[in-house]
Structure 1
Amino acid sequence: MIRMALISFVFFILGGMAALILISVLVSFDDENNYEFPLNSVAFLNTDACPNSNPNDLVGKWEGKKELGNGRHQIWSVDRASDGTFIIHAQFVDSTGEYRVRESGLWSYSHCLYSTIINNIDGEPALYQEVYRVKKVTLDEMSYTNFRTGRSFNLERSSN
Structure 2
Amino acid sequence: MKQALYFGVLSVLLAGCSQFKANKPQTSQPINLEAHVQTLAEDVQADVPTPAQKFATSNSRNMLLGKWYGIRKTANGGQKEWLTERSADGTYRVDFRFIAKNGDVRSQSEVGFWGVSGGIYFRIFRGWVTVTGMKPADATNADHYDAYAIESLSDSYFTYKHAVRGQRYTVKKMPADFRLPVTVKSDNSEPLTFSY
**TM-score band w.r.t. shorter chain:** 0.5 to 0.7
> 2:161 — aligned with what?
145
8 Å contact 1:141–1:155 — kept in the other structure? yes
Aligned residue runs from structure 1 range 41-120, under 5 A: 50-53=53-56, 54=59, 55-96=61-102, 97-120=104-127
Cα drift, residue 144 of structure 1: 0.5
What one-letter code is carried by the residue in structure 2 that aligns with 1:146?
A: H
Structure 2 distance, partners of 1:70, 1:103, is 23
Deviation of 1:100 after TM superposition, in Å, equals 1.4
Q: How many pairs does the alignment contain?
A: 113
2:174 alignment partner in structure 1: 158
Contact 1:61 1:158 (C-alpha < 8 Å) held by counterparts? yes
| Moved beyond 2 Å, runs of 4+ | 48-51, 68-71
Q: TM-score under structure 1 normalisation?
A: 0.65
- The percentage of aligned residue pairs carrying the same residue is 24
Q: Which has the higher contact order (CA 8 A, sep 6+)?
A: 2
Asked if 2 retains the 8 angstrom alpha-carbon contact of 1:51 and 1:137, the reply is no
- Residue ranges of structure 1 left out of the alignment (5+ in a row): 1-47
Structure of greater Rg: 1
Which is richer in strand? 1
The runs of 5 or more residues in structure 2 that have no matched partner are 1-50, 178-196
Instruction: Let me know the Cα RMSD of the aligned residues.
Output: 1.8
